[in-house]
């Protein structure tokens, strides 16, 4: 008896410790704000380069096992007629209703696409009948196969967003360079899909007044995000990322979820979506965002 209760006590202690650690690291993130996010995204960039070689093969294979194209096409058509019921709040980056639409929604976004997993992620989301924005880095669209991946994701009904050409910090660039970083991707995406991106996400969430102006001229909605974890070492497993994306204390109405084209994120995607839905959140359709 006594042994059992000691174990129970220990277990409770361990669980409480776990929660405390999560909360700590999250609030730390908020306090550090931009700086820590910048660091994290730059970590993720070096990962990206290391993985590049191996991933191209995978992407090639994935694109061969495609879903039924006719169904996909008709879905892409349908999605453009969606009524605009939400807008991005530029101080919190949440997705807020502008009508009497359900406020309990979450937006899924996948950055640094297309690397090795974007198409798989799109196929998983399609199977689950939910939508997302894939933010494309122009320099990753470096082969006909990669162009095909963008086209397939678009044809499956997903929004293709602009994440700049080379993923540089816009604050380090001249105005001319910023313009090129942004417009090059819009031209590229339009060439591939026939439609210019409607959403813009600056690398590291680092917008400038000038880049905001360019985004506005291009009729793009700017967005950063409310939370994300998949670039942190401790969350680079299917189980860990699936758990934190659903059970983070930052999940709230209009949450804007930052995820990346990564293997563990791809593997966790179904659990993440189902976990959010079990908590009563609907996945918002980007076409319904102004
Ligand atoms: Zn990025």
Residues in the chain: 290
From the CA of 166, how far away is ligand 1's center (Å)?
Answer: 10
From the CA of 206, how far away is ligand 1's center (Å)?
Answer: 11
Q: Which residue has the tokens 């994306």?
A: 245
Rounded Cα distance between 151 and 145, Å, is 10
pLDDT reported for residue 158: 98
- In the three-class reduction of DSSP (H, G, I as helix; E, B as strand; rest coil), residue 95 is classed as strand
Residue 75: pLDDT above 60?
no
CA distances, 183 to each of 84, 137, 186, 196, 200 (Å): 25, 12, 5, 10, 11
From the CA of 6, how far away is ligand 1's center (Å)?
Answer: 47
pLDDT reported for residue 248: 98
Rounded Cα distance between 105 and 112, Å, is 23
From the CA of 1, how far away is ligand 1's center (Å)?
Answer: 53
| Average pLDDT of every residue of the chain | 82
Residue 157: pLDDT above 80?
yes
Instruction: Provide the pLDDT confidence category of residue 81 given band limits of 50, 70 and 90.
Output: confident
pLDDT higher at 68 or 27: 68
User: Using one digit for the tens of pLDDT, what is the confidence trace for 34-71?
Assistant: 334 433 443 333 333 333 333 333 333 333 344 444 44
User: Using one digit for the tens of pLDDT, what is the confidence trace for 98-155?
Assistant: 989 999 999 999 999 999 999 999 999 999 999 999 999 999 999 999 999 999 999 9
Residue 11: pLDDT above 60?
no
Omega of the bond leading into 114 within 30 degrees of 0 (cis): yes
Contact 79, 285 (CB under 8 A): yes
Pairing of strands 105-113, 282-283: parallel
pLDDT reported for residue 99: 87
From the CA of 167, how far away is ligand 1's center (Å)?
Answer: 6
SS3 content of the chain, % helix, strand, coil (to 5): 55, 15, 30
DSSP class of residue 106?
Answer: E
pLDDT reported for residue 21: 35
From the CA of 108, how far away is ligand 1's center (Å)?
Answer: 14
Which chain residues have CB less than 5 Å from ligand 1, an ion?
111-112
Q: Where are the beta strands (DSSP E) in the chain?
A: 86-88, 95-97, 105-113, 133-136, 159-162, 199-200, 221-222, 255-260, 282-283
From the CA of 278, how far away is ligand 1's center (Å)?
Answer: 29
Per cent of the chain over pLDDT 70 is: 72
Residue whose C-alpha is closest to residue 162's, from 209, 210, 223: 223
Residue 25: pLDDT above 60?
no
Residue 76: pLDDT above 60?
no
Residue 153 β-bridge partners: none
Rounded Cα distance between 151 and 251, Å, is 31
Residue 201: pLDDT above 50?
yes
The reported pTM is 0.76
Rounded Cα distance between 70 and 249, Å, is 41
């Amino acid at each position: 008896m006594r042994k059992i209760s000691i174990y129970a006590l220990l277990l409770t202690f361990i669980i409480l410790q776990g929660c405390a650690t999560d909360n700590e690291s999250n609030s730390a993130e908020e306090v550090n704000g931009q700086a820590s996010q910048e660091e994290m995204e730059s970590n993720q960039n070096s990962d990206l380069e290391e993985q590049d070689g191996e991933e191209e093969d995978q992407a090639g294979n994935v694109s061969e096992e495609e879903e039924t194209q006719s169904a996909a096409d008709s879905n892409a058509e349908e999605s453009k007629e969606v009524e605009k019921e939400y807008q991005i709040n530029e101080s919190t980056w949440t997705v807020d209703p502008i009508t009497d639409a359900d406020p309990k929604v979450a937006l899924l976004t996948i950055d640094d696409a297309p690397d090795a997993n974007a198409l798989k992620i799109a196929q998983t989301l399609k199977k689950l009948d939910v939508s997302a924005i894939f933010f494309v880095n122009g320099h990753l669209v470096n082969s006909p196969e990669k162009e095909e991946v963008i086209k397939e994701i678009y044809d499956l009904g997903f929004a293709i967003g602009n994440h700049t050409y080379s993923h540089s910090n816009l604050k380090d660039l001249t105005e001319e360079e910023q313009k090129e970083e942004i417009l090059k991707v819009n031209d590229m995406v339009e060439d591939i899909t026939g439609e210019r991106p409607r959403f813009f996400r600056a690398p590291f969430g680092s917008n400038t007044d000038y880049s905001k102006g360019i985004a506005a001229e291009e009729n793009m909605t700017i967005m950063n995000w409310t939370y994300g974890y998949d670039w942190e070492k401790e969350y680079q497993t299917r189980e860990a990322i699936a758990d934190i994306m659903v059970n983070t204390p930052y999940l709230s109405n209009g949450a804007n979820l930052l995820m990346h084209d990564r293997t563990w994120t791809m593997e966790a995607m179904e659990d993440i979506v189902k976990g959010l839905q079990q908590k009563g959140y609907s996945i918002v359709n980007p076409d319904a965002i102004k």
